[in-house]
Amino acid sequence: MENILEVKNLCKKYKGFELQNVNITLPKGMIMGFIGENGAGKTTTIKAILDIIKNYTGEIKIFGLDNKKDDKKIKENVGVVLDDMFFPEILTPNDINSIMKDIYKNWDSKLYLKYLTDFSLPRNKAIKTLSKGMRKKLEIATAISHHPQLLILDEPTAGLDPVARNEVIDLFQSFIQNEECSIFLSSHITTDLEHIADYITFINNGKIILSKTREELLEDYGIVKCSKEEFEKIDKKDFVQYKKSKYEYEILIENRKVFSKKYNIDTIDKITLEELMVLMIKGEK
pLDDT at position 84, please? 67
Q: For residue 251, which of 267, 199, 37, 194 has the smallest C-alpha distance? A: 267
231 in the same domain as 172:
no
Tell me: the pLDDT tens digits for 99-127? 999 999 999 999 999 999 999 999 999 99
Spatial distance between the Cα atoms of 275 and 270, rounded to a whole number of angstroms: 10
CATH number for 184: 3.40.50.300
269 in the same domain as 177:
no
175 in the same domain as 81:
yes
131 in the same domain as 201:
yes
193 in the same domain as 225:
no
Given a cut of 90, whether residue 284 has pLDDT beyond it is no
245 in the same domain as 183:
no
Tell me: the pLDDT tens digits for 139-150? 999 999 999 999
239 in the same domain as 173:
no
Q: Once rounded to an integer, what is the mean pLDDT over residues 81-97?
A: 88
Tell me: the pLDDT tens digits for 198-257? 999 999 999 999 999 999 998 999 999 988 999 999 999 999 999 998 889 999 999 999
145 in the same domain as 258:
no
Q: Which of 165, 187, 213 is the last residue of a domain?
A: 213
Q: What is the mean pLDDT of the chain?
A: 92
Total tally of structural domains belonging to the chain: 2
One-character DSSP codes across the chain = --EEEEEEEEEEEETTEEEEEEEEEEETT-EEEEE--TTSSHHHHHHHHTT-S-S-EEEEEETTEETTTTHHHHHHTEEEE-TT----TT--HHHHHHHHHHH-TT--HHHHHHHHHHTT--SSS-GGGS-HHHHHHHHHHHHHTT--SEEEEESTTTT--HHHHHHHHHHHHHHTTTSS-EEEEE-S-HHHHHHH-SEEEEEETTEEEEEEEHHIIIII-EEEEE-HHHHTTS-GGG-SEEEE-SS-EEEEES-HHHHHHHHT----EE--HHHHHHHHHH-B-
Q: What percent of the chain has pLDDT over 90?
A: 76
The residue range of the domain holding 78 is 3-213
